Amino acid sequence: MSVLPITICGEPVLHRPAATVTEFDADLRQLVDDMFETTVAAPGVGLAAPQVGVGKRIFVWMYEDQDEAPSQGVAINPELWISPPDPGLPDESEEEGCLSFPGERFALRRSERALLRAQDIDGNPFEIQASGWFARILQHEFDHLSGLLYVDRLVHPENRAAQKAERRNGWGKPGLTWMPGVDNLES
């Protein structure tokens, strides 16, 4: 297993839809193992394949503070349904971070419940009903597979603060990565 470099906002793979996984083989297993190791090293609670430069529909999660699914798992070729989010603006209890927008946190209103349907590492289908922060994690990682970062969903004034952070950090262009365990950029 290896820790992989994490792409930063502006890398093209982060801003386009990911491709369907068709081969459930040793290479896929290696990628998923590396994604788990990278998530631990970052540290994070989830990681999508585009965040490590791979444009495939895969994400992993590592989140123990829920009873709805195993504390860690992989979703391959996922589909996600969400309940309507509560109306209104987000508050600071809804702040998120992202390993591809490292060191920054902004408030984003998300749906309280989600239904995930995906395939496991062997290609077997599964379903998870999630709520609270676990539902938020699933939504965040699923967005990466659609070419969205959470900062793309922010509303005023959070979106202005994110734009300023992007400019301040010199992001928004291809070729930028950081290495968990080496660079001090965790979110």
Catalytic residues: 141
Residue 61 to residue 72: CA distance in whole angstroms: 5
98 is in an annotated binding site: yes
For residue 33, count CB atoms less than 10 angstroms from its CB and return exposed for 0-12, middle for 13-18, buried for 19 or more: middle
- Which parts are annotated binding residues? 98, 140, 144
- Which parts are annotated binding residues for Fe cation? 98, 140, 144
